[in-house]
Amino acid sequence: MARKPLRHRQPGALVRRSVLAARVFASLFGSYAFVWGASSLLIVAQVAGGIAWDEAWMVGMLVAFPGFLAVFLWSYSARSVLRVWVCLFGVGAATTVLAAQWQLRLLAGV
Amino acid sequence: MFDTFRQAMAWVHTGFGLMLGYVLMVVFFFGTLSVFDREIDRWAVPETRFAVQPMPSFDQVLAPVFQRLRPDPDDVERTARRVAGELPDAASLPLVSLFAYTTHRDPVLLVGAEFGVPNAPLDPADDHLHVHGRAQVDPRSGEFLPENRLQIGTEFFYPMHYSLNASPAIIGYWVVGLAAMSMLAALVTGLVIHRRLLRELFTFRPRKRTQRSTLDLHNLTGVVALPFHFFFALTGLLIFAAIYLPVHDSLLQPLDRQHEVMEAARTGLPHEPAGVPAPLASVDAMVAQAKARWAQRGIPGEVGFLTIEHVGDRNGYVSVFRAGSDRVALVGEGIHFRASSGEILHEDPAPSAVHAVSEFLTGLHLQHFRHWLLRWLYVVGGLVGCVCIATGFIFFTERRKRQWALHSPQALRWVDAFAVTAVTGMVLAVLGMLVANRALPADLPARAMWEERVFWCTWLCTLLHAYVRSAALIRGEVSAAWREQCIGIAALAVLAVALNWMTTGDHLWHTVTTGYWPVAGVDASLLTVAFIAFTAAVRLDGRGAGATSTAVEPVEVSRG
Report the candidate in B415, B47, B141, B273 with the shortest Cα–Cα distance to residue A2.
B415
pLDDT band at B538 (very low <50, low <70, confident <90, very high): very high
Nearest to A39 among B14, B184, B245 (CB): B245
How far is A55 from chain B, CA to nearest CA, in Å?
A: 6
Give the lowest-confidence range in B56-60, B119-123, B257-261, B286-290.
B119-123
In a domain, B381, yes or no: no
- Residue B546 and residue B434 share a domain: yes
- Residue B420 and residue B336 share a domain: no
Report the candidate in A32, A16, A34 with the shortest Cα–Cα distance to residue A86.
A34
More confident residue, B214 or B228: B228
B485: pLDDT strictly greater than 70: yes
Which residue of A59, A77, A81 to mutate against B (max B Cβ within 10 Å)?
A77
User: From B403, which residue of chain A is nearest by alpha-carbon distance?
Assistant: A2
d(CA B439, CA B457): 16
Mean pLDDT for B380-387 is 95
Taking an 8 Å cut-off on Cβ atoms, the answer to whether A62 and B357 are in contact is yes
d(CA B366, CA B382): 13
In a domain, B5, yes or no: no
Helix (H, G, I), strand (E, B) or coil at B131: strand
In a domain, B216, yes or no: no
Amino acid B140: pLDDT = 94
Amino acid B236: pLDDT = 96
Mean pLDDT for B384-390 is 94
Contact between residue B383 and residue B559 where contact means Cβ atoms under 8 Å apart: yes
Q: Within an 8 Å CB–CB cutoff, is residue A38 touching chain B?
A: no
Q: Which positions in chain B touch A73 (Cβ < 8 Å)? A: 9, 12, 185, 188-189
Render pLDDT for A15-28 as a digit per residue (tens, 0 to 9): 888 999 999 999 99
Contact between residue B116 and residue B130 where contact means Cβ atoms under 8 Å apart: yes
Q: Position B382: which residue type?
A: G
Supply angle C-alpha B340, B344, B345, rounded to 5.
85
Helix axes A53-77, B226-239, angle to 10 degrees: 130
In a domain, B179, yes or no: no
Report the candidate in A60, A50, A69, A55 with the shortest Cα–Cα distance to residue A99.
A60
Q: Which positions in chain B touch A95 (Cβ < 8 Å)? A: none
Amino acid B146: pLDDT = 83
Cβ-based contacts under 8 A for chains A and B = 110
In a domain, B520, yes or no: yes
- Residue B415 and residue B334 share a domain: no
Helix (H, G, I), strand (E, B) or coil at B322: strand
d(CA A2, CA B158): 35
Amino acid B381: pLDDT = 95
Domains in chain A: boundaries: 26-109
HSE-up (13 A, CA, CB side) for residue B24: 33
Amino acid B212: pLDDT = 81
B517: pLDDT strictly greater than 60: yes
Mean pLDDT for B226-247 is 95
Amino acid A110: pLDDT = 56
B396: pLDDT strictly greater than 90: no
Mean pLDDT for B117-142 is 87
For residue B123, what are the CA distances in angstroms to B71, B82, B168, B251?
Answer: 22, 7, 20, 18
Tell the burial category of A101 from Cβ atoms under 10 Å away from its Cβ (0-12, 13-18, 19+): exposed
Amino acid B332: pLDDT = 83
Q: Which positions in chain A touch B185 (Cβ < 8 Å)? A: 69, 72-73
Beta strands B95-101; B303-309: pairing state: antiparallel
Mean pLDDT for B416-445 is 95
Contact between residue B488 and residue B555 where contact means Cβ atoms under 8 Å apart: no
d(CA B97, CA B107): 24
Contact between residue B560 and residue B379 where contact means Cβ atoms under 8 Å apart: yes
User: From B178, which residue of chain A is nearest by alpha-carbon distance?
Assistant: A28
In a domain, B29, yes or no: no
Amino acid B198: pLDDT = 65
Per cent of chain B over pLDDT 70 is 95
Sign of CA dihedral B178, B184, B188, B191: positive
HSE-up (13 A, CA, CB side) for residue B6: 5
Render pLDDT for B339-357 as a digit per residue (tens, 0 to 9): 999 999 999 998 899 999 9
User: From B261, which residue of chain A is nearest by alpha-carbon distance?
Assistant: A53
Amino acid A78: pLDDT = 92
Report the candidate in B302, B27, B46 with the shortest Cα–Cα distance to residue B177.
B27
- Residue B560 and residue B415 share a domain: yes
Amino acid A27: pLDDT = 96
Q: Which positions in chain A touch B241 (Cβ < 8 Å)? A: 61, 64-65
B526: pLDDT strictly greater than 90: yes
Q: Which positions in chain A touch B258 (Cβ < 8 Å)? A: 53, 107, 110
d(CA B87, CA A44): 40
Q: Within an 8 Å CB–CB cutoff, is residue A55 touching chain B?
A: yes
Sheet bearing B109-116, strands edge to edge: B143-144, B130-138, B109-116, B95-101, B303-309, B317-323, B331-338, B344-347
Amino acid B494: pLDDT = 98
Beta strands B317-323; B331-338: pairing state: antiparallel
Q: Which positions in chain B touch A65 (Cβ < 8 Å)? A: 181, 184, 234, 237-238, 241
d(CA B36, CA B10): 36
Amino acid B393: pLDDT = 82
- Phi and psi, residue B542, nearest 5°: -75, -35
Amino acid B555: pLDDT = 40
Taking an 8 Å cut-off on Cβ atoms, the answer to whether A76 and B11 are in contact is yes
- Looking at residue B143, the DSSP 8-state letter turns out to be E
Taking an 8 Å cut-off on Cβ atoms, the answer to whether A5 and B357 are in contact is no
Render pLDDT for B56-68 as a digit per residue (tens, 0 to 9): 999 999 999 999 9
d(CA B276, CA B496): 56
- Residue B347 and residue B261 share a domain: yes
Which residue of A53, A63, A104 to mutate against B (max B Cβ within 10 Å)?
A53
For A:89-108, CB contacts with B below 8 A are: 96, 99-100, 103, 106-107
Nearest to B358 among A35, A58, A65 (CB): A58
- Looking at residue B298, the DSSP 8-state letter turns out to be T
Amino acid B37: pLDDT = 96
pLDDT band at B197 (very low <50, low <70, confident <90, very high): low
HSE-up (13 A, CA, CB side) for residue B214: 21
Q: Within an 8 Å CB–CB cutoff, is residue B481 touching chain A?
A: no
Q: Domain limits at B522? A: 408-560
Q: Within an 8 Å CB–CB cutoff, is residue A86 touching chain B?
A: no
For residue B318, what are the CA distances in angstroms to B85, B97, B139, B290, B291?
Answer: 33, 10, 19, 11, 14
The interface pTM score, or ipTM, of the predicted complex is 0.89
d(CA B55, CA B62): 9
For residue B353, what are the CA distances in angstroms to B82, B239, B357, B362?
Answer: 40, 18, 6, 14
In a domain, B444, yes or no: yes
Render pLDDT for B321-342 as a digit per residue (tens, 0 to 9): 999 888 888 878 899 999 999 9
- Residue B263 and residue B343 share a domain: yes
Give the residues across from B264 on adjacent strands.
Answer: none
Amino acid B277: pLDDT = 94
Amino acid B209: pLDDT = 74
Render pLDDT for A41-76 as a digit per residue (tens, 0 to 9): 999 999 999 999 999 999 999 999 999 999 999 999
Q: Report the number of distinct structural domains present in chain B.
A: 2
Give the lowest-confidence range in B293-297, B349-353, B532-536.
B349-353
Mean pLDDT for B300-319 is 95
Q: Within an 8 Å CB–CB cutoff, is residue B7 touching chain A?
A: yes
- Residue B141 and residue B279 share a domain: yes
Amino acid A74: pLDDT = 95
